[in-house]
Each structure stands twice: as C-alpha cells, then as structure tokens.
Amino acid sequence: MDGWLRREDERLLTGAGRFVADLRVPACLDAVFVRSEVAHGVLREADCSAAREVPGVAGAWSAADLPDLPPMPLGEPAREWPALVEDRVRYPGEALAVVLGDDRYHAEDGAARVRTRIDPLPAVVTAQESAADTVRLFDGLSNVALRGEAGSPIDGEVWERAAVVVESDYRQQLLLPSPMECRTILCVPGGDRLTVWSGHQAPHRLRQDLAGLLDRPEESIRVVVPDTGGAFGSKSAVFPEFIVVAWLAVLLGRPVRWVEDRRESLLVATRGRGQDQHVRLAADAEGRLLAYELTVEADVGAYPHLGVAFPMQTAWMATGPYTTPKVHATVRSLLTNTMITYPYRGAGRPEATSPLERTMDVLARRLGLDPAELRRRNLIPPEAFPYRTPTGRTYDSGDHHAALDLALRTLGYDGWRAEQARRRADPDAFPIGIGLSCYVERSGGERGSLHEYVGVEAGDDGTVTARCGAASSGQSHATVFPALVAETLGVEPARVRLVEGDTDELPGGVGSFGSRSAQIDGAGLQHAAGLLIEEARERAARLWDLPVEETSWSDGAVHPVRGSAAMGLSELVKRTGPLRIDERYEADMAFPFGAHAAVVEVDPELGTVRVLQVVAVDDCGRALDPDVVRGQAFGSIVQGLGQALYEGVPFGDDGLPLLDGGLLDYLLPTYAEIPPIELGETHTPTPRTPLGAKGAGETGCIGTPPAIVNAVADALRLAHPERLQMPLTPDVVWRAAA
C-alpha cells in the first residue's frame, strides 16, 4: 500500500476525500431549516412570505405549503411524525419550515425572515417525568410507547433466602454520537431517476424508505454513499429533513442538498442511551450469584421510531458474563420532549453492562470480597458454551476467565492494590481506586437482519471485484475486505477492488451497524470467494477433460494434478466467459466479550478525576486486521471515557438543551484527556461462521464506563453507588465525597 497503513489513508489524509459537501452539482440548491425554539407547544404561525422575497432564495415552505408532504415512516398512525411541524411541536429544534437558496448563505438569510409563533406547553425530558403522566405528548394517548421483558419473574423466596441482597439506582445519561461529519443528503433528479448521495450506514434501506415516501419504484432511485466521516449508529435511518429535501428536489426538478451543521446536530441529531435503571442482585454467603433483576425506564424521544425497541437489547443482555440462574428484566420506553433516542455505539449493551458491573462492586464490598474474585466465582466457564442465558440469548463461545486474568496482569492489579493501601495510610496522599468491568457484547444484528448480499467477480485483466451490501463510515472496509478476498484466492490484495455503498452496483444490502460488517460481510465474502474457486476448478476441469478432483487451487490459479500448466483467473475468464458469484449469505449473531480495568486518582476537595491507566482486553474471535481492530478498540474506549467523565445533554426548566456554547458545553474528550491505554486480546473464534470473526467496534463504550465509575467509587470508598451518576463531573464527585 505504498507506505500507507490503509488503502483509504492516502485519499483521506491528503484532502482528496469526497464527502457530500464536496460534490459539485450544477444548479444545486442548499436547504436551511427553520427550527422550533421551544421544546413543546402549539404552532400558531409559520409565515414564509417574507423569506421568498430575499435575493438568492429559490423558495420557502411550511407544512401548510406542502399538504402532500409525507410523514416519517415506521411511526404509529396515532402518533405520526410529520416531516415539517403541522400543529404541535414535540422536541426542541423540530423543523417548522424550509428555505432553499442558491447557496447556504442566501438560504440562511431567508430563514431569518420566516415568522413563527408557538404557544408553549409544559415539557418532559426524562422518563421519570414522562411516567408521571402530567404531560402527554399525544392527546388521549399514554406516553408509554413499548413494554417488554426478558427472563421470568423471580420468586420472592429467592430474595428472602439470599445471604445478601443489594439494590441501587442508576442513570444512563443522554449522549450525542458526535461524528466528525454531521448528517448529509443530496438529491439530484434526472428524467425518471433520482440519485441520492448521503453519508449513510444502510443505503438500500434509505432507498426503500424514500421509494415508499415518494411513491415511486425502488429501481428509479439510486443511493450512493461517498466518503463518510463517522456515524456510530446515528446515520442508519431516514430523517424528516431527508424527506423534505427529496420531496422538493422532485417537485422542483432541481438538485437540493442539506448539510447539517454542528449547531443543528447538537440540537436535533439522534441521542444515545437515556435510561433510568433500578437493580437488585442476590448472592449466597460465598458470593455465588442467585438472582438479578433489572428495571429499565427509557426516555426514547418525542416519536415512536426504531429506537423505541432498542432498550430491549438491555433486557436481553442483562445476564452479562455470569452464571446467574435467575434473571428478569423489564422495560418501558417512554416518550419525552427530546429528539429521538436511537442506536449509538453499543446500542443497549453499554446500558446492560454498566448497572450489572457497578452492582457487582457493591456486592463485593458487602461480602468483603475482592471484586476480581467475586467475578471469577461467577463467570461462565469455557466448557459451558454454547451457553443459554435466562433472558434467551445463546452465547456462542468464550473464555471469560482468560480475559479477566490477562486484564489483571496487564494492569498490574496487585501492585496497584498495594499502592492504594499505602496511600490510604498517608493522609496527605490523593486516594486512588481500581475498577473492573466484565462484559458480553452482541454483534451481527437480530433475526431478520443476519444476512447480506456478497459477490466476487474475476476479470479478464487479472483483477478481482468484491461486492457487499455494507457501507463504510470509517471502518477500513476498503483495506480489510479486499485483503480477505485476496487471502482466500491467493492473489495480491492490490488486485482486488471493493464495491459497496451504491444501490445501482449491488442487488441488495443490509448495511453497516451493530458490529456486523466483519462478522457477516467478511464471512460472506470469504464464502463467495470459495464458491468462485469451486467454479474455476470445474471450468478448468472441463477444458482439460479432467475430473474436478484432479485439479487444485493455489496462488490465484487452477492447477492440474498432471499434464497442462496452471491456469490463472484472467486466462480462465478469457476462455470460458464471465466468472462471477452472487450470494445472499446467511449468518448468525455472535457474542464478543472482554474485561476492562481502570485506575484513577481523585482529589476529593476539588472533585477532579485523573485516569492513571486503562486496560482493555477484548475478544472478537478472529481479528481480520489486528491494526484496524486495535484502532476500533482505542476509539470506542475514548467514547467510553466521554460517557463516564464528560458527556451529557443537560436541560433547562423549559425543556431546552443547555448547549448554546456548542462543544464548549457538550464536552468531548480531546487528546489532552486521553490517559495511558493498554490493549490486550484473547481469541475465541465463533463457531457460527468458517471465518470465526465477531464484531469488534463497540467494546470500549461497553466495558470502559463502568470500570471508570467503579474506580472512582473505590477511591472514595462509597457505600451508596447511586451518589455517583455519569458523567462524573467535578461537582458530582465532590458531592459524592462530601
């Protein structure tokens, strides 16, 4: 790769990347949305007449001006989500009108002239407030959008006979995914075709949704995903702004583009997490877990959407890595006056791991056990796999003891415990704490999405084209997938070209989310390459008038057992015609796992936390590219640090997010805040695909936050864990230490 670590690097690091905002399209109009400045209210007026008189403005519309504009898909008829507000505002920044200009500047000038008037209503921004039922987002309807459970209710005798029972309450704060590039869409009409460019995780899903909304055949829409600056789950849906842009592009017969800016993103991009949790954990006198109960109240935003069901991931994964015989989790998803909560890196699994791992430390303190020893006594042993959990998951493979032991050795656990004891004996020393977290992740997706289109084609010029339904937003697909196909075929990686993210080039596709790309697309490409080898051997055998068994494959060529010289792919294609394999590859979910550990130093008087060391041992089965896997792990750990220490969406009494200062108010960890991070790995391939790879992109968001919070609680020797709620700002830590 000429010195570059990844194929993508030369293009992206030299400024040659091609993002939606970089595309130059003649006569393109830029869209700017006029947004609500209240969280909840009745829209009385949205007058665009003055905006239409602004020079450079091509048009301005409210919902009243576009009576046929379709609403968002996937909602409930009684709780419809309009693309532009028709009568009721339900979250801050909800789009009231749209202005199109010859450029963004003219559109902004026009948007400033739109006159709006809203009668405010009381707003609810937490699940607890929503559950009180004093404010309803939809008249005559409950705010409860979903009820669910996993496992079976636990008999009261279990709790009564347990040697120890601990209970606690936790809050998983709302987070912003904050990719480098915000949401984008460019719609270009041409004849009976509409070409849509978008930084999106699921182009075929976007095409399907737009086709339904615009009432046109899917084949009349082409969706192309160019370079995309991150996603973390936030770019896998259709959004109200997308509907408006596509509708107006078709209506006007002109290209229309919307590029979300950072201020908009902070206001109206999807949120992650957002759960209030109550836990109860029982054990015998030796620390063997007997029962675990988890109650989740999730604030899922203003409208029923895909994110309404994602708290069930928390319920299904409530068991974690332990052999707890009885587990019961219940979920309520409640509507609130916020933008929708949607999958964000980990999507339900961080929310499951954090309360369990924090409560394991509470239990260890109650029993007088070392937290590591308590975990060892309860981890699922390797011989128990496949392991069926009480919540209905079947874990494929694992060696949790090995991951924990490696994490402790890498951390230098005994040494840090000795240093902790020394500091506790010194009244002038800042206390340190050690925190652990063992986790199980689910990768690949749920039933119904555990498949993917894959294809491999040999050209007569010696090149190989690999196709798959994934769509990269920074996961190194252009490096990893060609290398995998090249390895299977025995050719140089430079000969393999990857095609993805273009619905005209691919007959189908599910997309990239839920850590599914390597596990499903990778396994599928390996399978398709194997089928191509079989077809090549059969064709060569016919040419040579040999049984297939008398041919073999190596180094990108078919070899006869005797006689004729080997025949490479290019010659075979020239002599026998096109050689292409297209498959709908079916797979299954897998369960990556690991153990994270952290050491922190706390100043109780100032409430500051200094992270001295983070160790993450992750197991994703077979790592297709170890450098890429380590990069994914490092990035997700930094996001996990963000949740633990810095990030959160605060709200005022009026229900508006207190983020006027942008990223000065929503604090993302920067290079200056990154502590020493040591990565380790164990390798337990999944038996569910020949490739053996499991998902690898979300582990840091799952394992790191509870390790950090446990370390701070350990430093402060807290008996009541609910006194520490993320993010652990100095004020939170200072109050907990008081």
pLDDT, tens digit (0-9, with 9 covering 90-100), for 503-537: 999 999 999 999 999 999 999 999 999 999 999 99
Q: Tokens representing 684?
A: 């337990």
Q: How far is CA 612 from the centre of its chain?
A: 27
Q: In 95-200, where do the E strands start and end?
A: 95-101, 115-120, 144-151, 164-175, 184-190, 193-197
CB atoms within 10 A of CB 220: 14
CA distance from start to end of the chain: 56
DSSP state of 154: P
Mean pLDDT, residues 21-46 taken together: 98
Is the peptide bond preceding residue 669 cis, with omega within 30 degrees of 0?
no
CATH of domain 7-121+183-259: 3.90.1170.50
| CA distance linking residue 306 with residue 315, whole number of Å | 16
| Token pair of 411 as six digits | 């951390």
Cβ proximity of 531 and 580 under 8 Å: no
* pLDDT confidence tier of residue 675, bands split at 50, 70 and 90: very high
Please check the confidence at residue 128 and state whether its pLDDT lies above 60: yes
pLDDT of amino acid 376 = 98
pLDDT at 377: 98
Confidence of residue 721 (pLDDT cuts 50, 70, 90): confident
Where do we find the tokens 């068994």? 549
Any residues with CB less than 8 A from the CB of 352 and at least 6 apart, and which?
A: 294, 313, 314, 315, 317, 318, 320
Which pLDDT tens digit goes with each residue over 226-276?
A: 999 999 999 999 999 999 999 999 999 999 999 999 999 999 999 999 999
- Encoded tokens for 466: 């690999």
CB atoms within 10 A of CB 385: 17
Q: What's the rounded Cα separation, in Å, for the pair 306 and 580?
A: 36
Domain 346-443+590-737: which CATH number of 3.30.365.10, 2.60.40.10, 3.40.50.300, 3.40.50.720: 3.30.365.10
- Give me the pLDDT at residue 676, please: 97
Predicted confidence (pLDDT) per residue in 57-67, tens digit? 999 999 999 99
Q: If we measure between CA atoms, which residue out of 330, 326, 261 comes closest to residue 108?
A: 261
* Contact assessment for residue 621 and residue 696, using Cβ atoms and an 8 Å cutoff: no
The C-alpha atoms of residue 464 and residue 471 are separated, in whole angstroms, by 19
Q: 234 with 512: CB under 8 angstroms?
A: no
Cis, bond preceding 657 (omega within 30 deg of 0): no
Residues 580 and 230: their CA atoms lie apart, in Å, by 32
Strands 593-603, 464-468: pairing kind: unpaired
Q: What is the DSSP letter of 350?
A: H
One fold for 346-443+590-737 and 451-586: yes
CB 480 within 8 A of CB 440: no
pTM value is 0.96
Backbone angles phi, psi at 285, to 5 degrees: -65, -25
- Distances from the Cα of 537 to the Cα of 98, 396, 454, 484, 569, angstroms: 59, 34, 20, 20, 10
Percent of the chain past pLDDT 90, that is, above it, reads 96
Nearest to 397 by CA among 624, 620, 626: 620
- Is pLDDT above 60 for 466? yes
10 Å CB burial of residue 667 (0-12, 13-18, 19+) is middle
Give the Cα-Cα-Cα angle 374, 610, 662 (nearest 5 degrees). Answer: 115
Mean pLDDT across the chain, nearest whole number? 96
738 vs 725, residue with greater confidence: 725
Q: Is 432 helix (H, G, I), strand (E, B) or coil?
A: strand
DSSP-assigned letters across all residues of 434-475: EEEEEEE--BS-STTS-EEEEEEEE-TTS-EEEEES---SSS
Residue 656 has what pLDDT? 96
Q: What is the pLDDT of residue 2?
A: 55
Tens digit of pLDDT for each residue in 624-662?
A: 999 999 999 999 999 999 999 999 999 999 999 999 999
Query: Of the candidates 640, 43, 26, which has an alpha carbon nearest to the alpha carbon of residue 353?
Result: 640
Listed in sequence order, the DSSP H helices in 425-475 are none
Domain ranges in the chain? Answer: 7-121+183-259, 346-443+590-737, 451-586
CA distance 244 to 339: 18
Mean pLDDT of all residues in 25-53: 98
Any bridge partners for residue 331, and if so which?
148, 296
What six digits make up the tokens of 198?
Answer: 């978008």
pLDDT of amino acid 1: 45
- Neighbouring CB atoms inside 10 A of 180's CB total 10
User: 451-586: which CATH topology?
Assistant: Aldehyde Oxidoreductase; domain 4 (3.30.365)
Torsion-angle region of residue 577: left (phi > 0), alpha (psi -120 to 50) or beta? left
